[in-house]
Amino acid sequence: MEKMKKQIVRICMLTMLFAGLLRPVCAEAKFEYEYIDGWLDSSLQIGDSNTIPFTLEYDSTVKIEYVGYESVDDGFYSDGKFQLKIVDGAGNVYYSAETDVFYHDVVYTVDLKKGTYYAKISCVESYSYINVNLYSKYIPSYQNPEYSISAEKLKLEKGAKEQLRITCNPTDVKYSVKWKSKNPAVASVSQNGKITAKRRGNTTITATVGKKKFTCAVTVWGRDPTYKEVVKKGRKYAKKHTKFANIKTGSHSRLNGVGILYEDQSHIYSDLYGTLGYLYPSIDIQKKGKTANVKLQIIGKHYLLSYSFGRYGVSDILIYTNNRRISFPLDYGRESSEIGSDNVIKRTVDWRVTFSGNKKVNNKKLDRLITVLKNKNVSVRVKGLGASYFEVTLNESERKNWLNVIKDYKKLLDLY
C-alpha cells in the first residue's frame, strides 16, 4: 500500500509539473525567471541527497522552489527538514539553508555571479514527498543591460498619437533605438518612437536596440465617414484639381480631372472608318450603407464611325514612359451600336478602369503609377480587341493634373 501511495504521488507531481502548474508567474520585466532544472523524488529518506548542476552565463538571481504535497483523502503529505547548499566546482559554499516543508511551498532566492554551480538538496530529518525547481533571472549590468518597451499592446483611435519608449537598466547605459512600423499606412512611427494612428487596421511597431528587438501590437479603430462627410471634403479639392459632378443626389458623385480628347481620321478614305474619344481621371464616391466607397478610376468613351458592322471593344490600358510602364485591366466595358440616316454606323464603347478603392487599397501598384506619372512624356494606350489600340500622350498640364487627382484620392482615404 505504501509503495502504491508513493507511485500515486509521483504521477500527481509529474502531471502538475508538465501542466505548468509548478512554473512561476513571470514578471513584466524583460528579464524573467527561466527554468534551469528540477528534481522529483517520491520518497526522500534521511541522508538522501540529489545534486543539480547548472551554469549561469551572466550574473543572475537564482530562485529555489520547494513544492510540498498533501493528500487529505490518503492521509499523507510533505513533512521533513531539508538542507540546500549551492557550491562551485571547488566546493566553495555560496548559499546554505535548512527548511521545514509541511505540504506548503517554500521559496528562496540568491544572487550569484556568472559561472558553474551545483545545487545539493539533502534530507536531514524524517522523509517526504518533495519537488524542487530551480529558476534563474539575469541581473542587469553594464555588460548585460536590461531593456524594456513602455507598451506591448496599444489600441488607438484614428488620428491619435502615442509615445513609445525604451528604458534601460542600468539607466546610464548609452544606447540607440531604431523604430519601424510594419504597416505605416495604419500607424506610422517617428525615429523618436512617437506613433501616429492613421487609419483603421492593425500593425506592429518594432524597436531595435543592437541585436534585441521589442514589439508593440497596435490596433487603430474609428468609424468610417458618412457619404456627406466624404463629399464635403471632396468639394474642397474640386476647387483646385477636379470638377465636382453629382451623378445621383445624395448617393453618387465624382471628382473628375482634366479630360483628354483624341481622334484618328487616318483610315477614313482607305478603310472607311474613323475613331474619336476622350478619357479622364476620376474619384468615384458612392454611398454604401452608412458610409461611402471611394475609388480612383480612369473613365473613357470611345466612338467608332464606319459603314460596316464590327466590334472594337476595350480590354485594358497601358500607362508608360520611355523606361517605365504599368497596365490595368478594365473592370467595366459596355458597347452599343446605332445606324444614322446617312447609313453611317456609330459604335460606342463606355469603359472604366479602377486603380484602387478604400476597401482594397493597392498601395504597391498605386506607388508604381505615381512613379510613372512623375516622368515626362507619359503616354496612355487603350487596347482594343486583337492588336488594335488608340493612344494619347499627356502634356505637362495634364500629367500634373493626374498626379494631383491621385493626391486628392489619398487624402480622402485618410478619412477611413
Interior angle at CA 282, CA 277 and CA 284, nearest 5: 125
Query: Per-residue confidence of the chain (416 residues) as pLDDT tens digits?
Result: 444 444 433 434 333 333 332 322 222 335 678 888 776 554 667 778 888 899 998 888 888 887 765 554 544 455 567 788 899 999 999 988 887 665 556 788 889 998 999 988 888 776 666 677 888 888 888 778 889 999 999 999 888 999 999 999 888 888 999 999 999 999 999 999 999 999 888 999 999 999 899 999 999 988 888 999 999 999 988 878 899 999 999 999 999 999 998 887 766 666 667 778 899 999 999 999 989 999 999 999 988 877 765 556 678 889 999 888 888 888 888 888 888 777 788 888 899 999 888 877 777 888 889 999 999 889 998 887 666 678 889 999 999 999 999 999 998 988 87
26, 32 Cβ separation under 8 angstroms: yes
Per-residue confidence (pLDDT) for residue 272, from 0 to 100? 67
Calpha distance 65→151 (Å, rounded) = 30
Q: Which of 310, 282, 316 is nearest to 405 (CA)?
A: 282
Query: What single letter denotes the amino acid at residue 185?
Result: A
| 271: helix, strand or coil | coil
Residue 238 phi, psi dihedral angles, 5° rounding: -65, -20
| 74: helix, strand or coil | coil
Against a cut of 0.85, is the pTM above it?
no
The gap between the terminal CA atoms of the chain, to the nearest Å, is 71
CA distances (Å), 269 to each of 106, 266, 272, 307, in order? 104, 8, 5, 12
Calpha distance 301→288 (Å, rounded) = 26
Calpha distance 140→58 (Å, rounded) = 9
Per-residue confidence (pLDDT) for residue 2, from 0 to 100? 43
207, 164 Cβ separation under 8 angstroms: yes
Q: Which of 40, 63, 52, 66 is nearest to 116 (CA)?
A: 52
Calpha distance 169→199 (Å, rounded) = 35
Per-residue confidence (pLDDT) for residue 214, from 0 to 100? 95
Per-residue confidence (pLDDT) for residue 25, from 0 to 100? 28
